[in-house]
Amino acid sequence: MTQPDIQAVKAYLLELQDRICNTLELLDGAERFRTDQWTREGGGGGRTRVIADGALFEKGGVNFSHVHGEQLPGSATAHRPELAGRSFQAMGVSLVLHPHNPYVPTSHANVRFFIAEKDGEDPVWWFGGGFDLTPYYGNEEDCRHWHQIAKAACDPFGADIYPRFKSWCDDYFHLKHRNEPRGVGGLFFDDFNEAGFDQSFALMRSVGDAFLKAYVPIVERRRDDEYGERERDFQLHRRGRYVEFNLVYDRGTLFGLQSGGRTESILMSLPPEVRWSYDWQPEPGSREAELYDIYLKPRDWLEGA
């Protein structure tokens, strides 16, 4: 098995962050990303980029981080107790985009690499990542396109990869306390090293490279759709679900906070405006109810394609 090439992974992640930010700036057309370089007291640092109050994006963040230390936080050793006592390096690119227009979905993506080492023992390493889509108003064309690109990213690595990662995404991005999916899914994987370093790294790159192919066409189709106060109110209501997931369940958020990461960068995923309304229910037969009745249900989006 090829030994992990940490510098190659880091170089790819930095280039991916540049490529995504450059494309999103062109897509927005009005604002540019602010860049903050930061360092972590316990070791490492990162490069956070945030865009706000643009023509398209109300808020968006694309974060690169590379942190290291002599001891893992509890969120990591609870999941993998065999890692206790090892030094670690964790690096990745993570992004969340919150458009102004409620007809343009919110989207999240990340790709990451982790390695834990101990003298005299083989390193423990893996890749993870994925991307998922959170629409406020469902659209079959968009969902089908999203999953077609997700499947194409996985296909070179085995026929089982897309259905496996798609199912993992459906299970992971689920608000247990509401028994409700966060969105229409996509891909999610973690602890992936079964293909060896070279192929596992290639799979992570394929997923990272697929994000713009999946998201940009949806944005371009929906960005000029007209909306009013009703659609905006529903968007803010649904954003509340996004906040709940990120603060209660998201592994990356928990790892970042417990490992002493930069709080501003970790919480860049939160939307600038959000609303919680007590016992809110959509009007039966409305477009808002359609989201719950049709789209917020795990399904095969490629059936019949």
Q: How far apart are CA 198 and CA 235, in angstroms?
A: 41
241 assigned binding-site residue:
no
Q: How far apart are CA 66 and CA 39, in angstroms?
A: 9
107 assigned binding-site residue:
no
66 assigned binding-site residue:
no
196 assigned binding-site residue:
no
47 assigned binding-site residue:
no
Q: How far apart are CA 61 and CA 34, in angstroms?
A: 9
Residue 40 dihedral angles phi and psi, to the nearest 5°? -105, 130
200 assigned binding-site residue:
no
- Collapsing DSSP states into helix, strand and coil, what is residue 173? coil
* Alpha helix ranges (H) inside 185-228: 196-222
112 assigned binding-site residue:
yes
- Look up residue 122 and give its DSSP letter: -
174 assigned binding-site residue:
no
Q: What angle do CA 54, 58, 61 make, to 5 degrees?
A: 95
Q: Is 66 a catalytic residue?
A: no
Q: Is residue 129 a contact partner of residue 103, using CB atoms and an 8 Å limit?
A: no
- Collapsing DSSP states into helix, strand and coil, what is residue 218? helix
262 assigned binding-site residue:
yes
CA 66 to each of CA 69, 203, 224: distance values in angstroms, whole numbers, following the listed order: 11, 20, 37
Q: Which of 108, 145, 174, 237 is catalytic?
A: 108
What residues are designated binding site? 94, 98, 108, 110-112, 147, 177, 260-262
Active-site amino acid positions: 108
Annotated binding-site ranges for substrate = 94, 110-112, 260-262
